[in-house]
Chain A
Amino acid sequence: MFETGIQLYEIYMVAGMALVTFGIRYIMFPLSGRLRFPELFERGLRYVPPVVLTAIIVPSVLMPTGETLNLKLNNPYLIGAITACAVGGLFKNLLLTIVVSMAVFLGAQWAFAMGW
């Protein structure tokens, strides 16, 4: 099914992606010695993890096809996400949140596919 021989353009592509990604992740360390971040910037950094993840979660749940907003309950992604929020909020257990919401999501998807 797949090509075994790597092509030249692929080498450029993977090398470019690797350099760009590492550069993004590393650049702040050598830079930080030279410039001083304002206090406001450092305060803002505390919001980075939840904010970035939310900006990934919300479109993938509410616009699963990538184009139209689906806020109806025939959207298995929405049902799964509501489950994840409920389980996560109640039990504060990450593994439980993932496993239960995945199960509910797959169940809902299966049910809709069966024409419920």
Chain B
Amino acid sequence: MNAVNSFEIIYQDRPLVIQELSLSGRPMFVVPVAGKKPLVITTATGSEGQVFWTSIPEGQQALAASIGQLIEAHFQKNK
């Protein structure tokens, strides 16, 4: 697991430092969660070919989707 980048996003009016990792050739994003293990999210491909954000492991789909959108916005802004 190699750290390649870290950046900041604003989530619910608070800054969050996101760490980007490359794991098994796939970009993963580590989101700090106060008092808990960090949340790891990535994009996956659905059966219809649609790309969606997901937590790894399962169980935090809504959070993964909302933070994933902010990560996408960060990369769009910094293109």
Partners in one complex: no
Interface residues of A, Cβ cutoff 8 Å to B = none
